[in-house]
Structure 1
Amino acid sequence: MSFFSRLKHYLKYFRADNIVNDVEFIRKHLVPDAAPWKLLGYSFGGFCGVTYLSFAPQGLKQVFLTGGIPPIKDGCTVETVYKACIDPIVLQNEKYYKRYPQDIQIIRDVVIHLAEPEGGGVRVPLPSGGILTPRGFTGLGASAGFERLKEWDPVIVPGSMKQISYYFLNCFERWLSFDTNPLYALLHESIYCQGAASQWAAHRVPVAAAVYYEDMFVNFNVTIEMSKEIGGIRLWVTNEYMHSGLGDGATHVLDHLMGLLNGKKPLF
């Protein structure tokens, strides 16, 4: 078996179904009496949680999903997911420019500066040896990265030959780098490639999900449509948080989700 064949086989162990197998092994061997437990799934962790509901519902007592209901209905391909995410990304960029209108010219200047090498100018190297391109720079707009510009000023060093500060280049590279998260680069698209829908067991397991109205990565409309396939699910639709709601407001998010299942929060 060639190296790439072995690598492809190895990567299968990181699919949602195999993650569920691993978690079930841990539950059966470490939890007293192999009792069912509560599951919290964020983003792809939520995708794994829905897989868990299908493959091993007997291992679950309650399920909490935050920004993580997978789009696996018929016809929902990677392409349709990406297309559905375009409008939310545009919306968040528009909101950013309304908050920081002064950045419109800054970002435009940086893009123009980076485009100059295409006409024979000096390229802008990144600390690791790569090249910062206009497309790479504007990619920050698809990941909430422009918000970090508030921490990275100055971008164009004032009073000197036009250049981008090393501090910015270093921060940019760390923000979008896959060096510490190689599996994300390799497997991100595959999480949307479901061979077939499983038989949901959600009617036997209480499920509560936080659905972020302006989520740029797990599309709201696709999520709402998919949630109809999970019987008995309780949704908390909110615009208080973005995709990273669990990290930004863990106490509030978890309190609300647990309240939905424990009868302490209204179902609207």
Structure 2
Amino acid sequence: MKSTAFVDAGVHYQPHYFNVPLNYDHPEGESLEVFAREVCQNDSASKSKPWLIYFQGGPGFPSPRPNGTSGWLKRALKDYRVLLLDQRGTGNSSVISHQTLQGMTAKQQAEYLSHFRADSIVRDAEFIRDALGINTWSTLGQSFGGFCTLTYLSMFPQSLEASFITGGVPSIERHPDDVYQATFKRTQEKNAEFFTQFPTAQSLCKKIADHLLIHDEYLPNGQKLTVEQFQQLGINFGVSDTFLPMYYLLENAFVTQQDKPQLRYEFLNEILMQQNFQTNPIYAILHESIYCQGFSSQWSAHRVRQQLDKFDYAPNKPFLFTGEMVFPWMFEQYVNLKPLQQAAEMLAEKRDWSNLYCAKTLKQNTVPVACAVYADDMFVEMDISRETLANIPNSKAWITNEYEHNGLRADGEHILDRLICIAQQIKANQIQHS
């Protein structure tokens, strides 16, 4: 059953469904259903407000399901009608999961999934803009949503009034190896901060890792837990206020049963709940392809990690968490990724990825682009973001160390307000010099 319109706390929510081509180069072929939710204040004045489309981070996650008006949405609704887009393959948009892909061969899976990158997402947005009769609109992109924004600015700049990016300005030409060299360094720094704040955490982590090396422990879904999976909890270090919850989790990891230590069910269940790759496989299978343009990733993060043996745990070495990286062994260990292993290998070797960005178009940009760039971002390197913005006129970065990668979620009302002011300044300068 499809969603229907409703009003909550003075806000009107209107669902929209669109049938779009799977492959825009062959629009006569297979189609997908894409869902987006319009959100506006429940008054007549909102109908005349300009539009703002939101691109979620990921890749592979749906748009937020707001519960009340707070954060960035509260600020946005003052000036805009907001469209929360479930990017293709997520939420209510022809969802991708181990269930929906199970009837395909590996080759079919790889071909199908190759159409779920930023270029296709942006074409969906253009399809929707035209279907709704919108002349131009503004964009808000968080993390991977910022990647989508630069693709939009490359492909359809004439459709954009202004663009706001938070923690998501990518390189438009670097190989993912460069990206992972930088993010592994940031991950090491976050490890150092965590273990400095909680010195006993190192011994707790080593106790868990050593236990996993000699004892079989299974998550509630029957998946064997490994040291490598345990290390992936470090992805949390990229967002704010996670050091203390991590320490609490570690200090309560064990229970004694018949004089033998074993990992507590609560601990195992929490690890499973944090394995987003299980429920959102796009995040794993297409994560490295978001950097690829005419070349293959060939498991970039894995190759970079092989040069950093300090991340390979052994009982005589310090324990380190990893971060936002995808590795080939995940498709051997994760229950819901195992059926996608062959397709993942094909996509890792795929060389003919289309271009996501156009440097020439971006160098001629006239759309105000206001960006929050986080100095200590563990996922998107500040120096790379600055490098990109230096070649995009009418863009401006607000560089801050007040926030982690999740700044929009932590203090969205303030951040979006700041970015709107920056975009207005850019526009005023354009008018002054025209």
TM-score, normalised with respect to structure 2: 0.55
Please tell me the root mean square deviation across aligned C-alpha atoms, in Å: 2.1
Deviates more, 1:169-178 or 1:58-67: 169-178
Following TM superposition, by how much is the alpha carbon of 1:95 offset from its aligned partner in structure 2, in angstroms?
1.2
Count residues with an aligned counterpart.
Answer: 254
Q: Whole-Å Cα distance in 1 between the matches of residues 140 and 419 of structure 2?
A: 10
Q: SS in structure 2 opposite 1:240?
A: coil
Following TM superposition, by how much is the alpha carbon of 1:158 offset from its aligned partner in structure 2, in angstroms?
6.0
Q: Which amino acid aligns with 2:291?
A: Y
Structure with the larger strand share: 2
Following TM superposition, by how much is the alpha carbon of 1:245 offset from its aligned partner in structure 2, in angstroms?
1.2
State the Cα deviation string for residues 123-155 of structure 1 (Å, max 9, x = none): 111111112222221222244276532453511
Q: Which runs of 5+ in 2 are unaligned?
A: 1-103, 295-354, 427-434
Q: Which runs of 5+ in 1 are unaligned?
A: none
Following TM superposition, by how much is the alpha carbon of 1:246 offset from its aligned partner in structure 2, in angstroms?
1.1
- Which of 151, 175, 180 is matched with 1:51 structurally? 151
Following TM superposition, by how much is the alpha carbon of 1:157 offset from its aligned partner in structure 2, in angstroms?
2.2
- Which of 113, 132, 135 is matched with 2:228 structurally? 135
Match runs of 1:1-268 below 5 Å: 3-31=105-133, 34-73=134-173, 76-115=174-213, 117=214, 122-144=215-237, 147-152=244-249, 153-157=251-255, 161-195=260-294, 196=355, 197-198=357-358, 199-201=360-362, 203-263=365-425
Deviates more, 1:40-49 or 1:196-205: 196-205
State the Cα deviation string for residues 34-87 of structure 1 (Å, max 9, x = none): 2211100011111010000010011100000111112122xx212121111111
Note closer, same or farther for the CA distance 1:263–1:27 as it changes in structure 2 (3 Å cut). same
Q: Which amino acid aligns with 1:174?
A: M
Q: Whole-Å Cα distance in 2 between the matches of residues 111 and 167 of structure 1?
A: 17
Following TM superposition, by how much is the alpha carbon of 1:194 offset from its aligned partner in structure 2, in angstroms?
2.0
Deviates more, 1:185-194 or 1:175-184: 175-184
Q: Partner residue of 2:88?
A: none
Following TM superposition, by how much is the alpha carbon of 1:182 offset from its aligned partner in structure 2, in angstroms?
1.0
Q: Whole-Å Cα distance in 1 between the matches of residues 176 and 235 of structure 2?
A: 17
Higher normalized contact order (CA 8 Å, seq sep 6+, divided by chain length): 1
Q: Whole-Å Cα distance in 2 between the matches of residues 134 and 11 of structure 1?
A: 29
Q: Which amino acid aligns with 1:141?
A: G
Structure with the larger helix share: 1
Q: Whole-Å Cα distance in 1 between the matches of residues 221 and 400 of structure 2?
A: 40
State the Cα deviation string for residues 156-207 of structure 1 (Å, max 9, x = none): 2268521111101011111124122111111000001023541334632000
Query: Percent identity, aligned pairs only?
Result: 39
Following TM superposition, by how much is the alpha carbon of 1:209 offset from its aligned partner in structure 2, in angstroms?
0.8
Deviates more, 1:52-61 or 1:152-161: 152-161
